[in-house]
Amino acid sequence: MIEVRDVCKSFVANELVLKHISTTFHSGKINQIIGRSGSGKTVLLKCIVGLHTLDSGDILYDGRSFTSMSKKEKMQLCSEIGMLFQGSALFDSLTITENVLFPMQMFSEKSEKEQQDRARFCLERVGLYNVFDMYPAELSGGMQKRAAIARAISLNPKYLFCDEPNSGLDPLTASKIDELIVELTKEFQMTTIINTHDLNSVLSVGEHIVFIHKGEKAWEGPKEKLFVSNCPELDDFIFASEMYQKFRTTLVSEQSGQI
Amino acid sequence: MNPLYHVGRYSQLMYRCFSKPQRVGVFFSQTLKEIDRLGVSSLFITLIVSLFMGAVLTIQTQNNIENPLLPDYTVGLVTRDTLLLEFCSMVLCLFLAGNIGSNIASQIGTMRISEQIDAMDIMGVNSANYIILPKIVAVVLYIPVLVVFSMFAGMLGGYLIAAFTDIITTSKFIYGLQYWFIEWYVYYSLIKAAVFAFIIASVSAYWGYFVRGGTLEVGKASTRAVVTCSVLILLADVVLTQILLL
Ligand SMILES: Nc1ncnc2c1ncn2[C@@H]1O[C@H](COP(=O)(O)OP(=O)(O)OP(=O)(O)O)[C@@H](O)[C@H]1O
Ligand SMILES: [Mg+2]
């Protein structure tokens, strides 16, 4: 469980990018942060994992406060975090296998054989075969994303963060990646937070949704309530495309028909 | 921008960089990889540059001392000392600042903008230590070796001029090369090279590590790296010459 408590963040003085955000992300669930481009999703995620320092507020990892942690506790926490970046961020001078091995080589006490086996296992778990000795540049975008997931789960993280895991992918590959993240989350009871502005992904795998608008938390709730949120900004966001507008009209007419 | 700001940030980066590697084995293999990567390409450019430097120096010196009072072997002697004192360390390192420095800056800069460095930080890896330290060690070990090659190649360049033109005979040139040889000059040159190498690796890494933005910024960082390195090398040259030769 990750608790975000009254987090503020600014890059330029007096211009808050995140304004007093508080929310809770539960474990074993797919938590999604949605919002328009530039609303502050990536900044929020980077604040949670500690890549940005907070102006004020606190993050609690299962009750452990991030801001008051010692260096050693932070290191411990780092080994429990897996993160998937918006652009995969695979190390381009290492092969795919070496990429997955990297966190283990730095932190794990396992023997080399065990590490190799674990790397194989992770890669096969995300559906990558026959690419073990290739370099990231030789893989397609979707394969890179999957390799990045394999690297993120290689140390059995308790917390998984994904920044737009399915941006720039075709619908089929995107939904496969979503499914993969769901499976892994349920399998290892991770606390998963996904940044996305892809409604398909929200509707298919999302459970707990946090909607960020201009740096503020405008709405929060389960997926089922998404269409009946009474939050004008969220409606603007969801019904921006014609398809969902039609969807809404049918939804409304269905409901009125029921009455 | 404020130079003190950069000095401060550079010092902090070096402080993080010079900590004990998390995995010594990984550090060694990274360093070997870096040396391997520097390897052949910079050796080739070093040999070419030095060959021509030696040749030009010989011609220039001969041209400038048309004085019957000076013995013929002066050409060889002056060529040798100029090579040892300045050319093989300072001029060569200016070249390598362009070659190796821009390479390091753009490589680390690309890692920064594609979030590879962030990915390391999240894993809890000391990214400065993991990425930069092997590069510094590799360059500081490797550039002095290049300087030794450069010394030989430079003198060979002079010899080829003597052999293929009638400016000076080869025997006189070789006599000059050997005449009144001061061993300290070689060490002096190697010490300078090691310091310059440190400047090249660490300053370029600094510019690359703190890139913000996109690919355009990476290009700017690598230009900045070359310019800063060159200026600092010249500055260090003055200081070191004061300390070591006088
Ligand atoms: N390092 C930074 N320095 C200064 N401003 C930043 C920085 N990172 C983000 N911002 C600003 O914060 C705001 C939110 O950016 P953020 O990257 O979080 O958007 P996002 O919601 O992730 O958008 P997208 O969906 O396009 O990825 C933007 O206005 C951006 O200009
Ligand atoms: Mg983003």
Measured CA to CA, the distance from residue B7 to residue B228 in angstroms comes to 12
- Does B4 fall in a domain? no
Contact (Cβ atoms closer than 8 angstroms) between residue A224 and residue A189 = no
* Structure token pair of residue B75: 């050409």
- Does B41 fall in a domain? yes
- Does B15 fall in a domain? no
Residue segments in chain B with a per-residue pLDDT below the cut of 70: none
Q: Which residues have CB under 6 Å of ligand 1?
A: A 11, 17, 35, 37-43, 197
Contact (Cβ atoms closer than 8 angstroms) between residue A8 and residue A20 = yes
Q: How many residues does chain B have?
A: 246
Structural domains in chain A (count): 1
Please tell me the predicted confidence (pLDDT) of residue A257: 66
- Does A123 fall in a domain? yes
**Chain B: residue nearest A80 by CA?**
B123
Please tell me the predicted confidence (pLDDT) of residue B161: 93
* Residue bearing tokens 């993080």: B16
Please tell me the predicted confidence (pLDDT) of residue A13: 87
- Does A17 fall in a domain? yes
pTM of the prediction? 0.90
Give me the domain span that covers residue A39. 2-231
- Does B12 fall in a domain? no
Residue segments in chain A with a per-residue pLDDT below the cut of 50: none
Structural domains in chain B (count): 1
- Does A259 fall in a domain? no
**Is A90 within 8 Å of chain B by CB?**
yes
Domain containing A98 — which CATH number? 3.40.50.300
Contact check, Cβ <8 Å, A49/B122: yes
Measured CA to CA, the distance from residue A48 to residue B204 in angstroms comes to 31
Instruction: Determine the distance from the C-alpha atom of residue B187 to the mean position of all C-alpha atoms in its chain, rounded to a whole number.
Output: 15
Give me the domain span that covers residue B225. 23-245
Please tell me the predicted confidence (pLDDT) of residue A210: 94
- Does B107 fall in a domain? yes
- Does A246 fall in a domain? no
- Does A78 fall in a domain? yes
Mutate to test the pocket of ligand 1, among A10, A41, A43, A86 (most ligand atoms within 8 A of CB): A43
CA A41 to ligand 1 centroid distance, Å: 7
- Does A72 fall in a domain? yes
- Does B181 fall in a domain? yes
